[in-house]
């Protein structure tokens, strides 16, 4: 067994939960699944201690006879100490000074700063009246490092933290909890970071050294590397009556919302053992069939695999996309229509050899590559019927929606095109986005594109979830301030783009907007339908988490989606600061 060295533990802020002493943690290198069955009434401290204790007991029982160093009681602590020392050496002597885009003093400044957990706490004040259709829970996922970053730190590298707002009959309760991934569970009890960061830890010689160190720690039984890359910090899925925290670098992690609003982690979710290598953070649910469509990408060929899950939770076999023959693209999102699946092959690519041979990141922009869109029947068993369309300069991070037209001969896709794509990973604040409608004719191969707004700072588009995979009229997009912060929301009407418009490349589709106010910023919004299926598509509310940087106060805003000004009908003052994050989800009672 391997004993962690307590001398290497990092100190946590006073508002962070306390974990068991690292010297009490032993575990080997066999795989285990940390699960939490703590009751909803547990306090923050009790819940965290219980999770760490569960990890300790489970791992120790699973590896009592498998640790290669178990016969030598003093060697485990020595091996852990040497690995920690090597980690410190890499940080101090091999890493170059971080660029502003990965400098933690910049990345984690202001309302991006780390926060501790918040047990269920009633919100102190509500302005206006909360609509009855908001009875339910709004949850937002985002990055929140458990430990102070060592060296470079990318925003995308933070541990997943869920912020849940339980709304019931006009009262609101906030709860914030970490997602108990395998990575976080191991690091929490060890008292220090143990795993290299995907977006900021693999650069040049230092990245190679970290890769070697990761292998050594796993071989010595210091860590379990099986699912160590997963952060579950990006989005949330509600499927088969389960909440799942998602992040494309790893597996989904399940959780529950207790009656008092607490977030209860229940462990890694693998669809009864049929999912082994993670999945996208942006799966799609067809509201007509209840099916879930998703993908995963990895470096060994085939680089991309599509799959679907039946409404009862049965995962179908992967469909490998072998026609993607070049270096794997960094694919964050995709789209699904009633008949097809649409995947991007962007200029953002992954090549580990670039890190080994030079001094760069394995994730970079290939300026010579022509972006493509791949369209394949969504129930295909292979990619033999996949059609690739060249779309020069089209690199989207997030899709808004897609649907079929002309009897299935034409696929329509709405996305936010990143301009320039070079800034997607390193200079987010310089990014601009053009909302584009792309039409692809399956029979002729023709492609047409139309820009839907003169505003070049619209991203993170959402639609009424009842209209996913089919033609819809409205979308609600965040206004960059610049990104990753948003200063407001804009409503687009796609029907304004119908017709030829005399070949115009730009058709203004923005029909309403709202700015959050001076020094007030948020991120992605969510749409909550007001009534049943017979209501208008835009009959509902737009909800957003917003932070007033001057007052250091976080709020939940509720806006009337039908209003020509997206009028605010309610504002809920939150009891603690909620940092800026990524994607959210509303689930009604």
Q: Of the ranges 161-175, 286-300, 342-356, which is most confident? A: 161-175
- Residue 273: pLDDT over 70: yes
- Please give the pLDDT value at position 500: 75
- Average pLDDT on 249-261 reads 96
pTM of the model: 0.87
- Please give the pLDDT value at position 49: 52
Q: Rounded mean pLDDT of the chain?
A: 87
Cα-Cα-Cα-Cα dihedral sign, residues 197, 198, 199, 205: positive
- Residue 64: pLDDT band (50, 70, 90) is very low
Cβ neighbours for 544, distance < 8 A, ≥ 6 positions apart: 489, 516, 522, 523, 524, 525, 526, 556, 557, 559
- Residue 545: pLDDT band (50, 70, 90) is very high
Residue 342's nearest CA partner among 411, 281, 291, 289 is: 411
Could you identify the residue written with the tokens 């699912």?
227
Residue 146's nearest CA partner among 157, 130, 135 is: 157
- Residue 446: pLDDT over 90: yes
- Please give the pLDDT value at position 277: 85
Alpha carbons 23 and 7: distance in angstroms, whole number: 9
Q: Of the ranges 14-28, 341-355, 454-468, which is most confident? A: 454-468
Q: Which two tokens stand for residue 406?
A: 């002309």
- Residue 48: pLDDT over 50: no
- Please give the pLDDT value at position 378: 97
Residue 140's nearest CA partner among 188, 185, 106, 174 is: 174
- Average pLDDT on 164-193 reads 95
Binding residues for Fe cation: 282, 332, 398, 583
- Residue 4: pLDDT band (50, 70, 90) is very low
- Residue 355: pLDDT band (50, 70, 90) is low
- Please give the pLDDT value at position 298: 81
Determine whether 38 is exposed, middle or buried from the number of CB atoms within 10 Å of its CB (0-12, 13-18, 19+).
middle
- Residue 263: pLDDT band (50, 70, 90) is very high
- Please give the pLDDT value at position 356: 67
- Please give the pLDDT value at position 88: 93
- Residue 520: pLDDT over 70: yes
Could you identify the residue written with the tokens 């806006």?
559
- Please give the pLDDT value at position 358: 60
Could you identify the residue written with the tokens 């912060």?
485
- Average pLDDT on 266-272 reads 96
- Please give the pLDDT value at position 32: 29
Alpha carbon separation from 326 to 21, 53, 329, 360, 361 (Å, rounded): 47, 45, 8, 19, 18
- Please give the pLDDT value at position 360: 66
- Please spell the DSSP secondary structure of 169-208, one letter per residue: TTEEEEEEEE---HHHHHHHHHTS--S--TTTS--HHHHH
219 by DSSP, 3-state: which? helix
- Residue 589: pLDDT over 60: yes
- Residue 76: pLDDT band (50, 70, 90) is confident
pLDDT per residue as tens digits for the range 389-401: 999 999 999 999 9
Q: Of the ranges 28-42, 47-61, 178-192, which is most confident? A: 178-192
- Residue 574: pLDDT over 50: yes
């Amino acid at each position: 067994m391997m004993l962690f060295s307590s001398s290497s533990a990092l100190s946590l802020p006073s508002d962070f939960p306390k974990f068991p002493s690292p010297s009490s943690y032993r575990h080997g290198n066999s795989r285990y699944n940390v699960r939490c069955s703590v009751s909803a009434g547990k306090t923050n401290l009790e819940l965290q201690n219980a999770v760490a204790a569960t990890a300790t007991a489970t791992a120790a029982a699973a590896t009592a006879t498998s640790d290669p160093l178990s016969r030598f009681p003093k060697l485990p602590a020595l091996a852990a100490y040497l690995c920690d020392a090597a980690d410190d050496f890499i940080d101090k002597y091999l890493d170059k000074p971080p660029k502003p885009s990965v400098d933690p003093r910049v990345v984690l400044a202001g309302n991006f700063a780390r926060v501790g957990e918040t047990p269920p706490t009633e919100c102190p004040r509500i302005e206006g009246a909360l609509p009855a259709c908001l009875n339910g829970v709004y949850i937002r996922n985002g990055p929140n490092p458990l430990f102070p970053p060592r060296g470079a730190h990318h925003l995308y590298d933070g541990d997943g933290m869920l912020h849940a707002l339980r709304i019931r009959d006009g009262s609101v309760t906030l709860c914030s909890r970490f997602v108990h991934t395998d990575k976080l569970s191991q690091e929490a009890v060890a008292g220090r970071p143990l795993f290299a960061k995907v977006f900021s830890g693999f650069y040049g010689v230092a990245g190679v050294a970290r890769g070697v160190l990761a292998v050594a720690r796993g071989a010595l039984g210091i860590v379990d590397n099986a699912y160590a890359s997963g952060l579950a910090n990006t989005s949330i899925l509600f499927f088969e009556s389960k909440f799942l925290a998602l992040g494309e670098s790893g597996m989904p992690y399940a959780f529950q919302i207790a009656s008092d609003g607490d977030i209860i982690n229940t462990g890694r979710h693998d669809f009864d053992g049929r999912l082994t290598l993670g999945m996208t953070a942006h799966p799609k649910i067809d509201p007509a069939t209840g099916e879930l469509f998703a993908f995963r990408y990895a470096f060994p060929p085939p680089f991309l695999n599509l799959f679907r899950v039946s409404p009862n939770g049965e995962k179908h076999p992967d469909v490998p996309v072998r026609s993607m023959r070049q270096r794997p693209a960094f694919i964050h999102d995709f789209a699904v229509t009633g008949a097809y699946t649409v995947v991007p092959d962007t200029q953002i690519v992954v090549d580990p050899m670039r890190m080994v041979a030079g001094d760069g990141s394995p994730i970079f922009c290939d300026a010579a590559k022509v972006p493509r869109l791949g369209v394949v029947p969504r129930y295909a068993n292979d990619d033999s019927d996949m059609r690739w369309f060249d779309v020069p300069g089209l690199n989207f991070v997030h899709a808004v929606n897609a649907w079929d037209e002309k009897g299935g001969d034409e696929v329509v896709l709405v996305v936010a095109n990143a301009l320039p794509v070079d800034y997607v990973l390193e200079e987010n604040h310089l990014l601009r986005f053009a909302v584009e409608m792309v039409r692809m004719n399956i029979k002729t191969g023709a492609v047409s594109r139309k820009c839907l707004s003169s505003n070049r700072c619209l991203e993170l588009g959402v639609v009424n979830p009842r209209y996913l995979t089919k033609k819809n009229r409205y979308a609600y997009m965040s206004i960059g301030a610049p990104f990753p912060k948003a200063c407001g929301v804009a409503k687009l009407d796609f029907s304004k783009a119908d017709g030829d418009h005399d070949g115009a490349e730009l058709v203004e589709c923005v029909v309403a907007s709202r700015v959050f106010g001076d020094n007030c910023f948020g991120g992605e919004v969510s749409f909550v339908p007001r009534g049943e299926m017979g209501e208008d598509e835009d009959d509902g509310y737009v909800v957003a988490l917003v932070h007033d940087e001057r007052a250091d106060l976080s709020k939940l805003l509720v806006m009337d989606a039908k209003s020509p000004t997206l009028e605010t009908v309610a504002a809920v003052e939150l009891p603690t600061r909620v940092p800026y994050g990524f994607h959210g989800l509303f689930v009604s009672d």
